[in-house]
Structure formats: C-alpha cells, structure tokens
Chains A and B, each alone.
Chain A
C-alpha cells in the first residue's frame, strides 16, 4: 500500500469501517444542514470533518501500510537446529567390505579425480544458497547408499538394516575359524572375494594366499 489511491481502493476491515463512518458522518452532516438553528458552527463543522477524514486516511496510508524494511534472513544464516524426530541410531558402515565390492574407489568417492576424500569435505550443512544442488551430509550418505541398497529404502523396516543403534550386524563379527579346511557354511555366489571378510581371521599358515586358492580346499 504505497499510495493513497491504493489504500482507498484495496482495503480491508479498517477500510470498510472508514467508509461506514463516512456514511454516518454524512447523515449527521445532512441533519445539521437542515437544523432550524443556523449558526456559525454549522458552517465550520463540515470543513473540519472533511479535513480530519482526509488526514486520517493519509496517515493510515503512510503509517500502517508503510513498506517496512523487512530483513529477510538470507538462507546462509539458516542453520539446521537440533535434530528433530527420533534419531534412528548410528549406522554401521563396513568400509572394508565395500572396498571389495566396488569397482574402484571413485564409485563412492565421486567427483574427486584420483583422490579419496572424506565425504564431509564437500558435503556439509544442507541448503547452502550458493550451491543448492549439493546435498547435505545426511542426504549425501543416503543417496549414495540408495544407489545400490534400494531395498533398504523401500520399507520402514529397511532403516534397521544399517541403523542398528550401534549393535554389530552379523557380518560385522569375525567369521569363525574352523579346525581343518571346512566347507564354506555360506553361499559363495556374489562373495567371490573371500579375503574381504576373512583376511583378519586367517590363520598364520595361510599367509600370502590369494582368493583363487581358497575354494580348492574349502568346498562350498
């Protein structure tokens, strides 16, 4: 509402009140005009009323509707506050296992050439106004995990596959070391790289052996 005309023509509650007040004043003015006693006061009254009315309208237009300088907080100041919603607990991320599954490091350490930076080097607080397309750290983790683990994101129970509240998942504990060359207790399909999980628990006499020799003794 920057002009008197705009204020007069697009007003709400107070505007209608002013219009109604004017009508009542007009009726009073009419009565005064036709009063039998004609004194000096009668002639001054309408002038005064008009001046006051115009004064109110102008004042109203410029004070109540003055365009105040609104400080819109720049999005850079907007920070995520303390976390909302129940926190599902920390996720377990077995990096070594993923190292074996991925073709090369750049599958996950993307957009970094040959380097393998930590995720939080680029992904920090979300909704940076300079770079809205860069997800925040939480969304970055989840989007990358989702590119392979879509099933964990398709049901409410899926979150628990990784967010185990710190409890170790069964593939995190070291597989048991059998006495002799035992059969493999689990399916080897999709698990061709035995060393990824069993490297740590191999007996010392197996030192230096590679994946292609495991299956020759340990039959599936």
Chain B
C-alpha cells in the first residue's frame, strides 16, 4: 500500500481530531470539571469534643480492630495525658488532653487521619498506593507503595507515619476508617467502643446536618464552626467543639482549597506536553529538513546533467 506523506498526515489528523472531539463532547462536564466534590454517599465520622471523656477506649479498640500491638500506656493510667502524644507506625489514633484557657475545663481531642475529600497524600503518591475510596476512607495498598514518603510531606495534618524500624519492606501507617470492617457491614472500632458516642458514624451529608442541628439547639455549648466542613476542600472526619479549635492544636491556616487543586492543572499538562511537543516539533523539523534535502537534490541534479553532456 503506497501511502503518500500528505495522505498519512491527513488520515492521522482526521482520526485524532475525531477521537478528541468525540470524547470532549460526550462527557462535557467531566472533561472540563475542575472541582471534585466527592461521592455524595461517602461515609464520615463526626467527633463531638464536648462529649469526650478521655477514656481512650477508641485507642484500644483501634489497636484491636487493626491487629496492632496493644496500648503502651494502659487505659487506667492518667499519665497518658502528661504529654501531647503523636501518632506512630503502631498507633493510628491518640487522645490528647487540653485545658480550656477561658473556663479551665479539661477538653480531650482525638487525632487521626481526617480522610480529606481530595487528599493531598493521594495526589502526592507516585504510584497510587494511597487512594480515596468511593465509600469515603482514604485507603492504602502496601503492595504498590515504594516508600518514598511524599505522602508524609504532603499531608497538612502530618498524619501518615512510616515504619522506620523495618528495613526491608516498610509501610505507611495511618487510620483508614476500618475500611475492612465497613466493607463487611460493621462500624469502625473507635465509633463502636466510645461509651458516650462522642464519635458518630454515618454518611457525611447526614453528619453535617446532625452537627448543624446540635450547634443550633445548644448554642452556648458549641463553637459555631464544623471543623472539616471546608478545611482543605472538606474532610470526611468532622469535629464540633466547645473550645476554639486553635487551642486544641487544630491547624487553622489551611484554607479551603483542596491541596491537589493547587498542582493538578500544571501537572495534568505534563503528559500531554511530553506527547504532543515531540510529535509536533519533530514534524516541523522533519518538514524543514526534507525541504532542504529536496533543494540540495535539485541543485545537484542539474550539475549531473551538465557533466554528462
């Protein structure tokens, strides 16, 4: 089959163009979607910090549900609150104690992954080991992880922890909202163990309504803000509190833009550029080089004719 270069280029442009336009206009909203507001049915958790009594049963239940080593400090030892504890590779959640500066009351605060709607960790992950599941939790596939720890850098709440003690196959550890339990129809461990239901488990949309109801019905008990409703584009783990959130070590400078939004537009252009620019520019080069070659041939041919004569 003889294919002229012009015919080839026409054919390629025609197929490429049709495909492109077909896809663009078959899903117009999806193709140009900038914001991802998340699956509407996704689960979330609401933590009511006015109810928490600091019993730490959530910590113990988390350890048991995820087959982690048992608690370092037993439940009946109040020295657990002497220092603000942090998460580590064997602890997916901790409860810390704070003192309300205005009333002097003791307040407890639970720390764990906030399961952001558009997680920075999942966006930073090179290999998609951390993904946002449609059910809500941000889950982790250890078989894909390469141990680069970009997720730890990316998380605005400093949640993912790393198994530094494991030299051969370290994994990232963080709360994944008991995804294995949710998939079987059970509720996460911390929500089940809490004796005063400081943690409520349900659909995020319902939990927002519940939180607003609680704030509205007891205005002097709660601060009028749901932490996680819009912070970093929204998180699936919501908090309501009677004490200002800054006093409880909640970062207040995060803004309401999801972190992936800041880099998505630039990064998404990179593969396109890598594909299109070599093709286009290479084509131009070929074209101009070919023109030079033809010009050279034309110059040399008349010379041959001259020499033959």
Partner-B contacts on A (CB < 8 A): 2-6, 8-13, 15-16, 18-20, 22-23, 26, 30, 33, 40, 43-44, 46-47, 50-51, 54, 58, 61, 70, 72-73, 75, 77-81, 83-86, 126-127, 129, 132-133, 135-136, 138-139, 142-143, 146, 153-157, 159
CB-based nearest A residue for B286: A33
Task: Other than A3-B31, A15-B271, give 9 A-B pairs with Cβ distance below 8 A.
Answer: A16-B271, A72-B43, A73-B185, A75-B201, A80-B187, A81-B184, A154-B53, A156-B75, A156-B76
Give 22 A-B contacts (CB < 8 Å), ordered by A residue.
A3-B24, A4-B23, A6-B30, A6-B31, A8-B272, A10-B268, A13-B127, A13-B128, A15-B271, A22-B274, A26-B278, A47-B12, A50-B15, A72-B39, A78-B186, A78-B187, A78-B201, A81-B186, A81-B192, A133-B213, A146-B53, A154-B53
- With A44-B1, A126-B197 already in contact, the answer to whether A19 and B274 are too (CB < 8 A) is yes
- What is the bound-complex CA distance between A30 and B126, given in angstroms? 31
Interface centre among A10, A23, A51, A84 (most CB of B within 10 A): A84
- B186 proximity list for chain A (CB < 8 A): 78-81
Q: How many chain B residues have a CB neighbour from A under 8 Å?
A: 75
B78 adjacent to A85 (CB under 8 Å): no
For the complex formed, measure the closest distance between the CB of A118 and the CB atoms of chain B, giving whole angstroms.
Answer: 19
- Enumerate chain B residues within 8 angstroms of A2, measured Cβ to Cβ: 27, 30-31
Complex CA gap A146/B278 in Å reads 71
Which B residues between 185 and 203 are near A, CB-CB below 8 angstroms? 185-187, 189, 191-197, 200-203
Residues in B with CB closer than 8 Å to A156 are: 55, 75-78
Interfacial chain B residues near A9, Cβ < 8 Å? 268-269, 271-272
A26 to B118 CA separation, bound complex (whole angstroms): 36
Cβ contact within 8 Å between A139 and B271: no
A156 CA to B59 CA in the complex, in Å?
Answer: 14
Contacting pair A146 B3 (CB below 8 A): no
CB distance from B265 to the nearest CB of A (A): 9
Per-residue A-contact encoding for B112-127, CB less than 8 Å = 1, 0 else: 0000000000000011
A13 to B193: give the CA distance in the assembly, Å: 40
Q: Does B41 contact A (CB under 8 A)?
A: yes
Give A68's nearest chain B residue, CB to CB: B134
Residues of B contacting A132 in the complex (Cβ-Cβ under 8 angstroms)? 200, 202, 206-207, 210
Interface presence of B264 (CB below 8 A)? yes
Cα A155 to Cα B203 with chains together (Å): 32
A155–B78 touching, CB < 8 Å? yes
Q: Which residues of B contact A10 (CB under 8 A)?
A: 264, 267-268
Which of the candidate stretches B60-68, B165-173, B223-231 sits at the interface with the other chain? B60-68
Known A4-B20, A72-B39, A77-B185: A127·B126 in contact at CB below 8 Å: no
- Determine the distance from Cα of A33 to Cα of B200 in the docked complex, in whole angstroms: 66
